[in-house]
Structures are given as structure tokens and as C-alpha cells.
Amino acid sequence: MSGKSDKGDGMIDLIIDDRECRAPRGSTILEVCRAHGIDVPTLCYDERLAPYGGCRLCLVEVEGARGLLPACTTEAEEGMVVRTSTEQVESARRTSLELLVSDHPMACTGCSKSGNCELQRLAKRYGIEESRYKGEKHEYPVLRDNPFILRDYNKCILCARCIRICREVQGVGVYDFVNRGFAAVPGTPYDRPMVETPCEFCGQCISTCPTGALTARPFEERERVWKREMARSACAHFGVSLDEMMEALGVEGWKVRTTCPYCGCGCQLDLSVLDNRVVEVSSPVMVGPGQGNLCIKGRFGQDFIASSDRLTTPLIRRDGEFVEASWEEAIEHVTTRLREIRDRSGPDALAVLASARITNEENYMLQKFARAVLGTRNIDHCARLCHAPSVAGLAQTFGSGAMTNSIDDLEEADAVLIIGSNTTETHPIIALRLKKAVMEHDCKIIVADARRIRMCYFADKWLRQRPGTDVALINGMMNVIIEEGLFDREFIESRTEGFEDLKKAVAEYTPERAAEITGVDADLIREAARTFATAERAAIVYAMGITQHTTGTDNVIALADLAMLTGNIGREGTGVNPLRGQNNVQGACDMGALPNVFSGYQSVTDPEASRKFARAWGVESLPQQVGLTVTEMMDAALRGEVKGMYIVGENPMMSDPDIRHVEEALRSLDLLVVQDIFMTETARLADVVLPAASYAEKEGTFTNTDRRVQRVRKAVEPPGDARSDLRIIADIAEALGYSMPAREAEEVFREMASLTPSYAGITYERLDAGETIHWPCPEEGHPGTPILHKEKFTRGKGAFIPVEYKPPAEEPDDRYPLVMTTGRVLEQYHTGTMTRRVPGINEIDPANRVWISREDAEAMGISDGDLVRVSTRRGDIEAEARVTRKMPGGLIFIPFHYSESPANRLTVGRIDPVSKIPEFKVAAAAVSLVRKSAGGNGSGNGSGEGRPGGGE
């Protein structure tokens, strides 16, 4: 080894197999080989993991070294000469493989991993059918102790990839080696079943396992179909992968790359398809936001696509009952009734709800339909119920209401304030980036949450503020930063305005006053402020624990003030980052599915913008008044002002506050049309139900939480007569006399991009080529903008806006002595219409629970598992008690996914005056015992303590 230095550009030159290779300094030999297309076999290597050097298959010769070196752990050096396939190297590899095969069942055609097994391919490559080494073989029982992960340790090669990925990536550590020597095997603590461990059922262990030791149970039976119909024996015989076999056989579309339909992370999925059915789900390694990692919903939550509950034909209510109808009948019925209402009461008697679950193209088309075809100003969607304050607050302070930085950036932060976000449950893949920042370079996490959420275990500081006191907490931190001179004076002077007003306002919020309001110790507020302000790069991450308040916009503004005060805007590892709750809530907002803007946030009240869209859409004029929001639509329906609603992919009978009020409003309509993939709680009230295609059955794009635009691709045909939302909207428009010239997804995207400056440079061609593009992307060839506000804010200078603490709209009293908050749990999604149709998820999370502290439970005589009643001023529900140390006294938490015990029967309808978001996070409540459980003991040490969970 020469030891020569690099050329000063951070690159080194070396020789591998007589080829000149160039690579960044710090690369391993294996990384250099792979970058230059030189094949070096491995079994313990995964790009997501730290090099391990356990399998010894990547051994190489290095000139000057005394022996063979593992390429995965040996750093490449300037002038190094490497040989990867000499006789000595190949002999060593063959010996290692034979030792592995000596204790491995070789009946490959009976294994579900056959064709995708790394050991099988290497054995075929080296001509190994059986081992020369004879001896004792392991015999382990096959473990099926949970609905998702099958463990067959007879096929384990002790590569430790499952152990390492659970520790290094997931940050959980369910697995470790148990026993010693020949008896060593990965296992759970004390051999407990997986459901009794902290396992989050992400399936990362399955994704990294090189053999059939860990496989997905939901696909187990389907794999047998594959073996019969897709000739896995041929894969074994020829030593090729199943992917290669499918390509050789000319089988097209059997694996389709698309984007996950759940939270806003935007993970990339590979859907494997057989006979028009998704039979397996995986994720490409080091691609997209997830980089090959998924959560329980992404990997195992796709069974809803083929659910027998899917809507397959249009339904019209006649004499109080739904009857099947043809599409022609349904469209004629809908258009006739829409015309009648519009002609009789005017276009604003109609209202449209778009959806965060449908594509960008469909949302664009729907807002076009509302404004240009119906002529109504009333269009909104569920962003109103989650991140409307983010749009309003960040638009005022920065000029743009979106996540300022990319998901990738979070790994670069030196400190992160996580407030109002149970990230591991609601955005699990983003949580992995935060955990990585902690584990790999000691990022300091500050968690501000009333509950002991899982991120608290990774936190440097935990601030347990009372719900609804976020402004006081943030103002208290800013008080410390200003008083101690920790603010970024240069940034403030050059890039912001209004600092003196902020300084004056937060002077009143000493740590002691903030402590009195929030319940957080004053010294802890000081420590958190110093940690955040002194970090070179500090980021803020928040979700609906910040926004879903009557002070939601104020909360967001306060966070923007904190970021500007410390100069943490416009750089890697910084920013204000609202985590969007649904797969395309960012895109639905971008597309103009809001009452106040066209696509690209162009104001409907701007005459020039209105004329531009009117010309493009071929109409004389468009409504130039701001329309009604979701909650305002319901109030207007009860007043008789809104008489017809067209709801696409939304379920307000579960997602809106005070759902008894919502039900009264929907029942009062003259016409309710619901377009969805299932008969939702809202669809049951409809006059007409239109069956739509799921995300896996159509083309389009989603825009994830960090403004990354990604493709959605059709993998299977929709069931029965279900159609894409795009086609349905276009058909209804044409029946109303309006021609939609752009009907295919790509055509609609082009039309939208031509009218939307922030999307103008994005094309399907670029996305299909694998480009990562974050808007704004103003022209073709522009790389996109992962980081906003680098040189200047969208509005010019950032605006400091002082905000004062205001108490929640409803506080506890003698009758309702507890505070109730709502949110999500890891296993479920939104209103449950998709996840609650997944058998495995229902097995581990079958019903709702009321999270309650041990002290409150003891005072009420309630034990873990008891049936309890929760009451508020709006109504009551019954659910099982989950007594846990994760909850503070005086606070209960209820997830909102469960129709049999809907949390939103209890929530407050009061709204934020600016963004019009309801206060989901604080309501006064009472809890009473209904029935003792047979096994309840009040310990709180049942599944609730070992399993993840906790909601937002």
C-alpha cells in the first residue's frame, strides 16, 4: 500500500483488477468496486448498515498486505492495487460458502425465497450443490408467533443483518444473538413472541435477510402460487433471480415502482403483481425518502387493494336503499341534481371536498371542475384539519407555507426540536432519519410533548408541557436566547424585520412565567433554549400537536420566529419542517384544492391570476371570492345555504370534529355525492356513491411532505366497474357540457405545470428517469429546490411576528376534570378505511383504547383492559382502558381511527380564527368505569408498555 495522499480534491486513485478507479477519500474497497461495476460477493453487507466483515466473502488481495482483506471494512487508499478474483481469493470464498451450506437446507425449490436468495445465487455461481463438510445440523421449529414475520432459523447464516438493521436503522433492538457457539442464533429476549417485544413490525429485518430465514407471513401462501406458476425451480437451476427470470420470460409489469399511499413520507414501493393481485411489497434500497425502509403500513398494509369490501359499481339511493346502477345512470342522476341546485340556488349552494389521498392530477382536475364547471367558490380538503395553520403561519413569516428543508437534511442537524409530533408513530421513516442523526453524530433531540413518546428515549431534553401551552413554551425559550445573547444578530439584521417587536413581546415570558403556564421546569426551559441556540445547525420538526388548536397559526408563527432568531433557515440541517399527515396533502394544497387559491398558491382574489386560469380553462370568468372551508361548509349546510356536496376520497363522518354536528349537516343536504374506494361512514349517508380506483390502479403523482414530486403507477386493474377519479370527474364535467381535453394523467400534469410556476419544470419524463425533484422547479433543467429561503425569503425579508399565549377554547372543570387529546397510532391510518381492512393489522390492533395515567386510573378504580366511558360536552364513547406510565396525570389520549368508538364524537368544533382549523388536541372530558375486564390488574404492564403506540 503506497499511502500517497489525494490530489487535494477529496478524491483518490487506485487500481482494481488492472482498472484505474477514482473514488472519494474515505470509501471502502467494496464501495469503490461497486461504483465501478466490479462484482465482489457479499452476504453480510447492506448499504443501509455499517460494514460488518462477518461473512468473509468479500475478501480481496491488496498489494503489500500480509493476508486477504475484507473489502467491506477496508478503506481504499491512494495508489492501492487490489485484485478481487485471484485463485487464493476464489478458494477462500468457496470455503466460506461450503461452511455456510454445510448447515443449510438445500431444498431450494421448497423455499419461498428461492429465486431471490443471495446464498442460493452464490452457491450456484461457485458450483456448490452440497458441502464437503459434514457434521451436526440445526433443527429449529419454524416460528409463526405474529401475523407478519415468519422466522425459520434453519436457514439462518448468522450474518447479523437482522440484528444490525433493528439496532442501527430502526433503533429498537428486538433481536440479538442468543446462546453461544454452534447454538448461537438471532432471537428475542427470553424467546418471547414477537408481539410481546417492542417490535414495530416494520419488516426491515425481512428486507435485509439474505436467505429465507425471515420472510413475510402475509405473502407466505401467495409465494406457493409463485413457485408453481413462476417456476422458482428454474431460478434455482439457472442461478438467476426471480426478477431476471421474469425479464427473460417476457413477463411485463410484474413489479411496479410506485409511491406509498399512507403518510406524507413518500416512500417508494415495488408492488409485485400476479393475476391482477399485489402479492408482495418491497422497497428499493437507497431510493427515495425511505431508502429501502418501510413501516408496518407501507410493507404490510396493502391488502385493502383487493379487499372484498371494495366498491365495484355505482349506487343510487332509491326509497331509502342503495341500488346498483350503470355509470350512465349514475352520471345522469348526479348531473341532473347538480344542475337543479345550481339553477335554483346559485353555484355557491354547491360545495366540493377534494382529497389528500388522490393524485395531484385528480386534485387539480377537481378544483378546475368546481370553479370552471360548477362555478362554485367552495372547494376544500382535509388539509384544513391538519396543516392549514402551517400554510397560514409560514406564509406570513417566510412567504411560503411548506416544509423548508428535505427529509435527507434532518440527518445533518446538530439539534432538533420535535414538538407536537410523535414522529415514530405518525411519520416512522422520518423518525429513522432523526434516530440516525442521534446515533451517528450525537444530534441533540429536544422533545416537547405531554406524553412519553418513543422519541423521548433518543432525546437529550424532554419538555412535558401542558396541551395548548406551546406559545408560552416557545416564547420562554426565545426569552432565554435573547437575554443570554444567543441569537444570530447578523442573520436578523440582514434577512429579517420586526425583531424589536418580538424582543419586547417575549420579554414578558421569563422561564418562570413560562413554567407557570406550561408546567415545564424553568431550568429545563433554559437548558433546551441553550441547546437549540448554540447548535451550529438546528431544525424544528412539528406536526398536528402544534396545528390542531384554536391557536394553531400562532403556534406555527412562534416556531418560525424561533428559527429566524437563531439563524436556522436556508441551510442544510436547519429549517421549520411541518410533517404532513397524508400521502398527498402537500400536493392537494399545491394543486389549489383550497377555497382561497388556484394551483401554486395563486390567489383567487387576484384578478390577473383569475383571468389566466379562466383563459386556460376556456370560461369567461371564475369566482373571485374566497370560498367556504370544510367546517364552514357543514355550518352552511345546516343553515340551508349549501344544498349539494360532492365529496371525493374524504370521510368527514370520522375526520371532522363533533361528528354529530357533521351528520346533521350532511343529512340536511338536497344532494350528497360520495366518490370513494369503500363504503365509508360518510358514503352511507350519500344519495349517490361512485366507485373509485385505488392508488395502485391508476397513474399520476403525489407530492410528499418535503415537496418531492413522485410518480404513482398503475399496477393492477380496478375491481368491477370502479374508475379512476380523473375519469369520473372528466365524465361528469362533460355530461354538464364542459369538455375536458386533458383526460390522461400526464396530459393533466402538463396542463397544471403550464399554469403553476413552482411545477413548471417538472415532467413525467424527468420523474420516470429517476430524478429527485422538490418544488419550486421553475423550468426544465432546473434541479429543483430541496432547501427553501437560501439567499432570501420568498417574501423578501423574514417577518418576526410576536404572538401571545391564549388558553385552549375548552378547559377542565368539576364535571369534566380531564384534558382529552386525540391523534394516531403506528398501526392505523387516518379514518381506518384502509388499515382496518388489513387482517394482520387488525390482529395486533383490533380496537380503540383510551390511554390513561396510572394515577388517574387508580383514583377511578380502573384497571388495564377495563371498559370505560369517555364523555365530553358533545357526547360519549366506550373503549378499553390502556393504563400506562406514558401518560401524565390529568390527560387522556384517544386515537381517532375507530368507527365503533369515534374520538371525533367528543372533540371541540371551535376553530382557529385565521386558518379555520378545529381544536382536536384539547377538550375537557370525564372518564367512568363501565365494566371490569376479566384480566385487568391496573398494572399498565400489559401489551401497552411493551408495544409501540401513543399517537400524535
CA distance 777 to 647: 31
pLDDT at 16: 96
The closest alpha carbon to 279, from 357, 229, 225, 316, belongs to 225
Query: Where, residue-wise, is CATH 3.40.228.10 in the chain?
Result: 388-578
pLDDT at 237: 54
CATH number of 11-98: 3.10.20.740
711-727, pLDDT tens digit by residue?
Answer: 999 999 999 999 999 99
Q: What are phi and psi of 527, to 5 degrees?
A: -65, -40
Q: State which H helix or E strand residue 364 sits in.
A: helix 360-368
CA distance 178 to 199: 17
Query: Where, residue-wise, is CATH 2.40.40.20 in the chain?
Result: 818-931
pLDDT at 940: 36
What angle (nearest 5°) sits at the alpha carbon of residue 564, between those of residues 563 and 566? 70
Q: How far is CA 44 from CA 71, 210, 804, in A?
A: 12, 8, 55
Query: Where, residue-wise, is CATH 3.40.50.740 in the chain?
Result: 315-385+584-753
What is the grid cell recorded at 359? 393524485
Q: What is the CATH class of 107-124+133-250?
A: alpha beta
Tell me, letter by letter, the H, E, C secondary structure of 599-653.
HHHCECCCHHHHHHHHHHHCCCCCCCCCCCCHHHHHHHHHCCCCCEEEEECCCHH
Give the range among 4-18, 483-497, 556-570, 769-783 with minimum mean pLDDT.
4-18
Q: What are phi and psi of 505, to 5 degrees?
A: -70, -45
pLDDT at 1: 43
CATH number of 388-578: 3.40.228.10
CA distance 257 to 292: 12
The cell 411560503 sits on which residue? 400
Query: Where, residue-wise, is CATH 3.30.70.20 in the chain?
Result: 107-124+133-250
Instruction: Give yes or no for a contact between 176 and 122, defined as CB atoms under 8 angstroms apart.
Output: no
CA distance 356 to 806: 30
Choice between 378 and 230, residue whose per-residue pLDDT is larger? 378
Whole-prediction pTM:
0.93
pLDDT at 130: 80
Whether 226 shows a pLDDT value over 60: the answer reads: no
Q: Which residues is 538 bridged to in the sheet?
A: 415
Q: Which residues is 278 bridged to in the sheet?
A: 273
CATH number of 818-931: 2.40.40.20
Whether 156 shows a pLDDT value over 80: the answer reads: yes
Dmax (CA) for the chain in angstroms is 91
Query: Where, residue-wise, is CATH 3.10.20.740 in the chain?
Result: 11-98
315-385+584-753 CATH choice from 3.90.245.10, 2.60.40.10, 3.40.50.740, 3.40.1380.10: 3.40.50.740
Residue 266 banded pLDDT, cuts 50, 70, 90: very high
Residue 244 banded pLDDT, cuts 50, 70, 90: low
